[in-house]
Amino acid sequence: MPAASVDTFFACSLMVLLVLSAMASTSKILYPYINYASDKNVAEKYRQISKYLLLNAGTPSNWGENNRTALTTFGLAKVGSENPYDLDSDKVSRLSSESIYAISYAQVFSTLKMPDITSRIEIKPMFEVAIRLEATYEEANRTVYQFAISPEKHGSSLLANLQCYVVAEDFVGTTSIFFRGGKTYVNATLPNTIIGPALIIVFAKSAYDSRIVSFSSHAFAHNSRQPTPNRTFLKLSPLNHTLTATFIQPNVTLMKAYAFTFNYNSTLTQVVADSYSAIFAIPHFADSSPTLIVATGTNSTTFFTEVAAYPQIPLQTGANFENLETRTKVFAYTYSVTIESAIYECTIWLGGPRD
């Protein structure tokens, strides 16, 4: 399929999702009135439950930002928002197993008070961003790394506007973007005095709607050994515009932490530190974009970069229906949702016992 046709199909599909979501959410679902007694339309019953999870704020309503408060009723909606399917970034982040503030599926299951229904939630960008290192050009005082960047949906290329950053040791810079033969390339230039490994961050916004945004990152060697996997040295847990960096390995020394969005970036201010963790303040950016948090440091003499998204997506939490399929009715419902004005895709699986 030609690229133009793929982009048109993607844009039209998105508009259909947005219209259907808006039509389905003119009034919020009241949990106590869901009719469990009737099984005339199981799929519709489950659809109402899935909408409830996204349209209800839960109890207490600030359970996302306040991790010390016991959750009694589950819901992901942002308090005070007039827009349906507008989710709270902290509630979403607490669904991620990568966060020290994560709530377990057992907690979600118990607060839903539906013992005969299992669930699974997935939230992710509308499309993916593939990053591939194509070439390396070593010069006297600097090295140029050329990356191929591919915004994709189901393997097909999409039109998108890109913003890229590169981080290494005490170096932060933007990158040059150019097109060649229908492909997008990014050159990341690093001084040879810098010791890596380095990290390139890519934000991509749909050419059709700037609220549709995706992101990715790629660590690469620069005057260094190959980078270790992400979350080797730190567990980064953003919540309520505060970053908690928890040390996983011994002898960790943090250097700096940064926040990046499509249009903005900032060095984070450290507010608390001890021998096990450090806490930083995260600015509020007026941007339809997730925030990517990058922390740099050393483990003895080894430099590292670690990265996490805020909200902490993509994520999956809940039951594994692959093992339950033979004895469970499973229904999946996909919605376009907004988090801090950016649009993402949310799929909710619900399953109950077969008749």
Per-residue confidence band for 327, with pLDDT thresholds at 50, 70 and 90: low
What is the reported pLDDT for 21?
Answer: 42
| Half-sphere exposure of residue 209: CA atoms within 13 angstroms, side-chain side | 20
Residues 6+ apart with CB under 8 A from 227: 196, 197, 199, 219, 220, 221, 304, 305
| Structural domain containing residue 56 | 3-125+314-353
The tens digit of pLDDT for each residue in 7-58 reads 554 555 554 444 344 334 333 333 333 444 444 588 898 999 999 999 999 9
Residue 329 is predicted with a pLDDT of: 80
What pLDDT is recorded for position 218?
A: 97
Q: What is the pTM of this model?
A: 0.87
CB 355 within 8 A of CB 63: no
Tell me if 348 is assigned to some domain: yes
CA dihedral 5, 8, 10, 11 (to 10 degrees): 180
Q: Using pLDDT thresholds of 50, 70 and 90, give the confidence band for residue 316.
A: very high
Domain membership of residue 230 (yes or no) is no
Give the count of domains, the chain. Answer: 1
How high is the pLDDT of residue 321?
76
**8 Å CB contact between 45 and 36:** yes
Q: What is the DSSP annotation of 285-348?
A: --SSS-EEEEEEEEETTEEEEEEEEES--SEEEE--GGGTGGGEEEEEEEEEEEETTEEEEEEE
Q: With pLDDT > 70 as the criterion, what percentage of the chain qualifies? A: 86
What is the CB neighbour count within 10 angstroms for residue 42? 14
Q: For residue 53, is it within any domain?
A: yes
DSSP string, 175-187: -EEEEETTEEEEE
Beta partners for 291?
A: 310
CA angle (222, 223, 227) in 5-degree steps: 55
11 lies in some domain: yes
Q: Quick check: helix, strand or coil at residue 269?
A: strand
Helix (H) or strand (E) holding 107: helix 105-112
Asked if 348 and 332 count as a contact pair (C-beta separation under 8 A), the reply is yes
pLDDT, tens digit, 9 for 90 and up, residues 330-347: 899 999 999 999 999 999
Answer whether residue 190 is part of any domain: no
SS3 of 207-225: CCCCCEEEEEEEEECCCCC
Residue 6: band (very low, low, confident or very high) from pLDDT cuts 50, 70, 90: very low
Per-residue pLDDT at 325: 53
**CA 210 – CA 231 distance, rounded (Å):** 30
The model's pLDDT over 76-129, given as tens digits with 9 standing for 90+, comes to: 999 999 999 999 999 999 999 999 999 999 999 999 888 888 999 999 999 999
Residue 79 lies in a domain: yes
Q: Is 161 inside any structural domain?
A: no
169 in a domain, yes or no?
A: no
